[in-house]
Chains A and B, each alone.
Chain A
Amino acid sequence: MGSEYCRICHEEIGGTFRRNPHFSVDDGRIKTVPSREWKNRGCESCHGPGKTHSEAGEAKDIFFFGGSVRNPVAPPADRVNAVCLQCHAGDATHAGRLSGSHTRNQLSCTGCHTVHQFVRRPLLRVESNALCQQCHLNVKAEFNRPYRHKLSEGAVECVDCHNPHGETPGRADLRRVSANDSGCLKCHSDKRGPFPFEHAPVRLSACSSCHEPHGSANPRMLTRPDQSRLCLECHTTTLTRAGGTPPAFHDLRSARFRNCTICHSRIHGSFVSRDLLR
């Protein structure tokens, strides 16, 4: 039918769409998949054939992504995403999409991205941190606690650590850096190692074993205010688990032994000390 027909009724969308990167489909500079060209038919590349819709004027005759006055009920996320993934399935950032938490929770691409307008890259409805916080209200609150990553100051963004499209299964959609390391090491690269003497939970578990990465009332974003408690919750002999009990001279009645990292200063891993002392 052609996009020119669509713009006659959908004038406002047609105007803003020219500034949108998706207009490249309509002007023929980009094919949606290598084998298919939609020059001058960009609208139909996503919404499906428009002839019947234009003749009858019925919303049911065309694929709506939802939220419109005529068709307020959004279709299931799977159907919306299938349209976008015709082109975007191969994006490198979508490698873990199928096992991502947003896929599981039925969040569609258009829940975050706007397809017609040009607001900000990568076509997000609002600024990326604010967008995440619209749903993740509790995380927004955590970032207002005193010891936190500097999100509101612009030093980091939610998407620096998390891949909203999904990463490896079961890892809170945390990004991986240098192809195969925890996303935290993107900035904290001095803790990447490998160290000749590793602190096992840094590698075997997540950084969140000891830290609250979004924000905490405890210094260094620790999960406990008292270092000795944090350490001793694991370092108590249990034969079937990793860990071990400190020798008896660690008398907790003395302040020096309640501050473990005073001596065990290389707590994330040491180059020379098996007890992580230096």
Chain B
Amino acid sequence: MRPGSAIPILVLAGLAQAQETPAPAIVEKQITGSVDLGYRWLAGAGGSQDVYRSLVNLGAGPKLFGAETSIRRPGGKLYDRIDIRVWAWGGDPYNTARVDVARRGAYAFRLDYRNVSYFNSLPSFANPLLGQGVLFSQRSLDTTRRLIDAELELWPRTRITPYLAYYRSSGFGRGVTTFVTDGNEFPVATRLRDATDSYRGGLRLNFARLNVTLEQGATTFKDDQEVGFADGINPGNRTTPLAGQDILLRDLRQAYGARGGGIFSRAVIEGRPFTRLNFSGQFLYSKPSIDVNYIQQNAGNFLLLSTLQIFTGQLDRSVGEASRPHSLGSWATEIRPARRLRVIQSWLTDRFHISAGSLLGRTLTTAAGPIATEVAVSDRLVLNYNQHQVDAIVDVGAFLSLRGGHRYQWGDATARAPTLGPDARPAQLRRQVALAGASVRLGSRIDVNVDLEAAAGDRTFFRTDLADYQRGKLRGRYRIVKSLSATGSFAILNNRNPALGVNLDYQSRQSALALYFTPNDGNRWSLLVDYTRATVRGSIPFLAPQDRALELSRYRDDVHHGGASADVQVWRGFRVNLGGSLSVTAGSRPVRYYQPHARAIVPVRNRLIWTAEWRWYGFDAPLYAFENFHTHVFATGLRIGR
């Protein structure tokens, strides 16, 4: 008897049993969830706390590490599903929350909220006084960014699905920036506040062989920044006389008020008119614009470089505006001329132009009397970018797919050359790229993917752009036995631009290997080990501004990264996880960054779990030892619920 011949009998027997079995009762309302509460300590903190806050920023105190709840109410009139998840609340720098509410076939609502603190104060960054032992970055920030992303979809997956969405990104905080005059610059305090609100709504039209999305939206933007300094000795004061006088800042008030907005439209079409033909296209259009009001009032002793005059007061008023009509269109077609052959052709065009104008009125107070000027400046930036690509993919068999193709990128850009005057300077882009690749699947054990690109570009927008380059990627996965698998990857990029006056030479390589060992599906223990080696070599000549001498900018980056995670079930759900990562960089900026950790999960009672974690953050920058820091972070908590 063939093995399959018993199946109809089993099917019939099973069906009879199924018919006898009463239909499953309608599930009543189900509420599940958990809360993860605890406390965190920092211990043994040493080194630069500014750098610790810039890189890690985890603080001590009671924490709500996470909470989640799911409510299922099959057949509910208002909803049949609610999912709420929150992470890292209670003073942590990165708080997130997500809410999903839906009623099948009626609506789906999603809300994503994030509150991200951003502290950045690195003694070695933007610090001209570092050589004098001053550990104070003149570009420091202590800000917060809040993001709200909400979308309501009505009648999802029906023929006509309308949707409405709202997005808000707002930032606020304070920092240090620089006030620049002709002969000097002064670090000063700044207060930042910006907000972008985006509203969009649209329709998704779903037909058997055609899907269309039409969307219309609008944004509003405001940015209010203030910079100030009052009564005191500014660390940027220059006491080495210039034109016979010290250069000093006594008082400064600077305020920006930018208001903007614009509309955007989006149309997406996707179709399958025939079995052997797919197509998709997008058209995006936006036209943001902005109006700016600016006022600056400063007092002190300043130098006007053009006439070598000293002035003691300055009043600037400026109004400006800018707009950027931007259209982007793309189209792709997939044709299957034969069963094993696919040809994908895609095309992209991206075009915008920014036109801007600004009127600056300035009054300088000098010993000889006030000097008033008014300057109108216009600016523009234009981009026309195009790309065409053809790929042919051949499925040689179930085990092998080969592909080859060609990409052509071309365009032009016009930008005002900075500091050289009002003339706009055109730049051209032209690049031919050959594409090739293969995907190999040997049983369920081996997957290998190879991706190759080689390009010849004779015109680029910028000196460091990709020109004549070869890029290769190799990824593979080998399932050695059921419980042991290995993943590896290798990537290389060589980029050369031999054009006169450029001579760019760049190469990056990345090799990575990971081993996953999960005996018995990881129920008792599992082990993950990964290692990555990455190198970057770059060199390009440049002209030193002071004497136009040719110098060489060399960059070297050699990274060894290792990571491990061992998970062991000690006894009846009591699990221990040990691991961490180590990143060692040599080259232009050597850095070592250690992050080992240990974690224990101990079931105390049904629906009550005790967790404990230790982490170590160790940062070591040999060239900037004053930035080193290290700290232990302990956390413990109770997870209640399931």
Contact present for B344 and A98 (CB under 8 Å):
yes
Given contacts A138-B489, A274-B377, A278-B179, contact A144 B563 (CB under 8 A): yes
Counting CB contacts under 8 A, is B284 at the interface? yes
Counting CB contacts under 8 A, is A197 at the interface? yes
Counting CB contacts under 8 A, is A141 at the interface? yes
Q: What is the bound-complex CA distance between A29 and B156, given in angstroms?
A: 11
For residues 543 through 568 of chain B, which have their beta carbon under 8 Å from a beta carbon of chain A? 543-548, 553, 555, 557, 559, 561, 563
Contact present for A271 and B292 (CB under 8 Å):
yes
Q: What is the bound-complex CA distance between A87 and B428, given in angstroms?
A: 43
Contact present for A90 and B3 (CB under 8 Å):
no
Interface string of B326-361 (1 = CB under 8 A from A): 111010111000000010101110101010111010
Given contacts A4-B18, A180-B286, contact A262 B138 (CB under 8 A): yes
CB distance from A235 to the nearest CB of B (A): 8
List, in ascending order, chain A residues with CB within 8 A of B419's CB.
244, 246-247, 275
Nearest B residue to A274 via CB reads B377
Contact present for A95 and B7 (CB under 8 Å):
no
Interface string of A116-157 (1 = CB under 8 A from B): 000001000000000000111110111011110010011100
Contact present for B357 and A98 (CB under 8 Å):
no
Contact present for A155 and B96 (CB under 8 Å):
yes
List, in ascending order, chain B residues with CB within 8 A of A233's CB.
463-464, 540, 542, 553
Nearest A residue to B465 via CB reads A205
For residues 1 through 53 of chain B, which have their beta carbon under 8 Å from a beta carbon of chain A? 2-8, 10-11, 14-15, 18
Contact present for B282 and A95 (CB under 8 Å):
yes
Contact present for B288 and A192 (CB under 8 Å):
yes
List, in ascending order, chain A residues with CB within 8 A of B18's CB.
4, 7-8
Q: What is the bound-complex CA distance between A150 and B534, given in angstroms?
A: 21
CB distance from A33 to the nearest CB of B (A): 5
Contact present for A76 and B398 (CB under 8 Å):
yes
Chain A interface: which size bin? Answer: 35 or more
List, in ascending order, chain A residues with CB within 8 A of B5's CB.
57
CB distance from B217 to the nearest CB of A (A): 6
For residues 107 through 161 of chain B, which have their beta carbon under 8 Å from a beta carbon of chain A? 114, 116, 120, 122, 124-131, 138-139, 145, 147, 157-159
CB distance from B448 to the nearest CB of A (A): 11
Cβ contact of A180, chosen from B88, B322, B328, B595, cutoff 8 A: B328
Counting CB contacts under 8 A, is B194 at the interface? yes
Contact present for B217 and A178 (CB under 8 Å):
yes
List, in ascending order, chain A residues with CB within 8 A of B11's CB.
5, 8-9, 54
CB distance from B319 to the nearest CB of A (A): 9
Nearest B residue to A72 via CB reads B444
For residues 197 through 242 of chain A, which have their beta carbon under 8 Å from a beta carbon of chain B? 197-198, 200-201, 203-205, 209, 217-220, 223-227, 229, 232-242
Counting CB contacts under 8 A, is B101 at the interface? no
Contact present for A137 and B532 (CB under 8 Å):
yes
Nearest A residue to B428 via CB reads A240
Contact present for B352 and A135 (CB under 8 Å):
no
Interface string of A255-276 (1 = CB under 8 A from B): 1111101110100000110111
Contact present for B403 and A104 (CB under 8 Å):
yes
Counting CB contacts under 8 A, is A187 at the interface? yes
Contact present for A250 and B545 (CB under 8 Å):
yes
List, in ascending order, chain A residues with CB within 8 A of B192's CB.
190
State the 8 A-B residue pairs at the shortest beta-carbon distance, nearest first: A57-B4, A90-B211, A8-B14, A137-B512, A72-B444, A141-B532, A98-B332, A225-B589
12 A-B pairs besides A4-B15, A189-B221 with CB distance below 8 A are A74-B398, A106-B449, A135-B487, A179-B264, A192-B288, A196-B379, A225-B588, A245-B545, A245-B548, A271-B294, A272-B292, A278-B180
